[in-house]
Amino acid sequence: MVNIVIVATANYLWGAAVTVRSALEACSTTLNAYVISVDLSPEDRRRLFDSWQTPNVGTIKFVDFDLGQVDKLRSTLLVKSKSPYARFFIPEYLSDVSRCIYLDTDLIVCSDLKELQTLDLQGKSSACVIDGGIDTPQQQQRLRDKLKLTNPRQYFNSGVIVMDLDAWRRGHIQSKALTVAQDNYDLLDQMDQDALNIVLADDWLVLDPKWNTSKGRADVGFSDGIIHFLGKVKPWHADYAANFQDRWFAILDRTAFSGQRPVRLFGVGAAYRRFARSIPTLEMVKGKLRRILRSA
């Protein structure tokens, strides 16, 4: 059987429904879904549960996550929520599971995840896809100078991670990632992803890029792998104007959220989304000022 884990928030509720539903529909065996719930209401959970009722669904388990556990860690304008740090706690919350596949909640799974569940990790604790945005001189300098990666071209995107949870527990990866995220607060522009790249350096297997392909790199007929809707704007937002939206909503219409669409209101909805995304939190402003003063 296949074990997948997501971190679910109310803002990404439709995304969670589609990610898991697409994984179920593509899977040839029983699939168990573990949901780390940040702020889901009982009604949200019920609707997600109903969305995933396919013949091959196995266990659906919700686990509550307290954001207070990561209160001292950094957030950014790209990802204002600190919910992504919840993935650090997967080995703890899935204490009786040996291997799982972590998935972000802005994906369409097009291929059978059984292939990843049974993948030979060759002694590594994890398997991931190299991030598609690391080739610029600025990013290479950031990875070398800020994160101190000895091989800055071996930097993964954390949206899809095959996790040997026994190895994570033996290596205390959870506690190491939390320590790195706290001790390097001002250096982690990519938050949890940066922290995991530091902790897992040389301890992860490179996956075929098809398993985490950004929407901008996938061709229109993409059907082998996973489509990742990277960026601030998601298919369920009123101002989304990129590809694969029709396919995404076709899957949503096979869930308990069938027929639901973003509110547009003659462009007002899209304008509001853009405005809301541009406002930094007070914590971000303080951090920016601190970094400016430190470099002065």
* Rg, C-alpha atoms of the chain: 19
Residue 287 near residue 82, CB atoms below 8 Å: no
First vs last Cα of the chain: how many Å apart?
Answer: 55
- What integer is the mean pLDDT of 138-147? 95
Give the angle subtended at the CA of 158 by the CAs of 256 and 255, to the nearest 5°: 5
Separation between Cα atoms, residue 114 and residue 134, nearest integer Å: 29
Separation between Cα atoms, residue 192 and residue 95, nearest integer Å: 21
Please write the tens of the pLDDT for every residue from 108-117: 999 999 999 9
Please write the tens of the pLDDT for every residue from 148-188: 999 999 999 999 999 999 999 999 999 999 999 999 998 99
What lies within 8 Å, CB to CB, of 198 at 6+ separation is: 147, 148, 149, 180, 184
pTM for the whole structure: 0.90
Separation between Cα atoms, residue 206 and residue 130, nearest integer Å: 7
Q: Write down the pLDDT at residue 282.
A: 60
Please write the tens of the pLDDT for every residue from 24-77: 999 999 999 999 999 999 999 999 999 999 999 999 999 999 999 999 998 876
Give the pair of three-digit tokens for residue 251.
């899957």
pLDDT band, residue 266 (cuts 50/70/90):
low
Please write the tens of the pLDDT for every residue from 250-264: 999 999 999 999 987
Burial class (CB in 10 A: 0-12, 13-18, 19+), 226: buried
- What integer is the mean pLDDT of 262-287? 62
Separation between Cα atoms, residue 258 and residue 14, nearest integer Å: 10
- Closest by Cα among 191, 4, 18 to 90: 4
- Closest by Cα among 197, 273, 285 to 236: 273
Higher pLDDT, 101 or 264: 101
**Is residue 296's pLDDT more than 60?**
no
> How does strand 213-214 pair with strand 2-8?
unpaired
**Is residue 271's pLDDT more than 80?**
no
Exposure string (b/e) for 122-136, b if CB count within 10 Å is 16 or more? Answer: eebbbbbbbbeebee
Sign of CA dihedral 284, 290, 294, 296: positive
**Is residue 231's pLDDT more than 60?**
yes
Q: Write down the pLDDT at residue 276.
A: 58
Q: Write down the pLDDT at residue 264.
A: 73
Sign of CA dihedral 88, 132, 231, 191: positive
Strand arrangement of the beta sheet that strand 213-214 belongs to: 107-109, 226-228, 213-214
**Is residue 202's pLDDT more than 70?**
yes
